[in-house]
């Protein structure tokens, strides 16, 4: 079990990044959440199987088609038992 706290920078708001992150997380069986930040970045927490968490982090490096990801910061944390995946508004 792995938990990653991720921050994605670039053109990542207004390009369906959150909705596509939710779809990808559900496809991979990853729990957690995603939200837009005031500075224009996207913040997310992914929790689940090691391989699945690494797969969604890799996906975050390019995101959906209209996104232009410039940098991705990842910090690993102790799993907290997240259930489901949600978009925080």
pLDDT score at 60:
98
Catalytic residue among 18, 20, 35, 68: 18
* pLDDT tens profile 42-86: 999 999 999 999 999 999 999 999 999 999 999 999 999 999 999
pLDDT attached to residue 64: 96
Residue spans of the domains in the chain: they are 2-88
Cα radius of gyration rounded to whole Å, the chain: 12
Active site residue 18: yes
Query: How many helices and strands, by DSSP H and E, does the chain display?
Result: 2, 5
The CATH classification number of 2-88 equals 3.30.70.100
**DSSP-derived secondary structure letter, 15:** S
- Which tens digits make up the pLDDT trace of 12-50? 999 999 999 999 999 999 999 999 999 999 999 999 999
CA–CA separation, 51 and 49 (whole Å): 6
pLDDT at 68: 98
The verdict on whether 3 is a catalytic residue reads no
Question: Is this structure's pTM higher than 0.75?
Answer: yes
Q: Of the listed 7, 20, 35, 36, which one is catalytic? A: 36
């Amino acid at each position: 079990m792995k938990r990653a706290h991720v921050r994605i920078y670039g053109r990542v708001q207004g390009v369906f990044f959150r909705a596509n992150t939710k779809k990808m997380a559900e496809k991979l069986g990853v729990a957690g959440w995603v939200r837009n930040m005031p500075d224009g970045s996207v913040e997310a927490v992914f929790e689940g199987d090691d391989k699945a968490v690494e797969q969604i982090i890799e996906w975050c490096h390019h995101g959906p088609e209209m996104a232009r990801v410039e940098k991705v910061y990842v910090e690993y944390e102790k799993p907290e038992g997240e259930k489901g995946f949600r978009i925080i508004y």
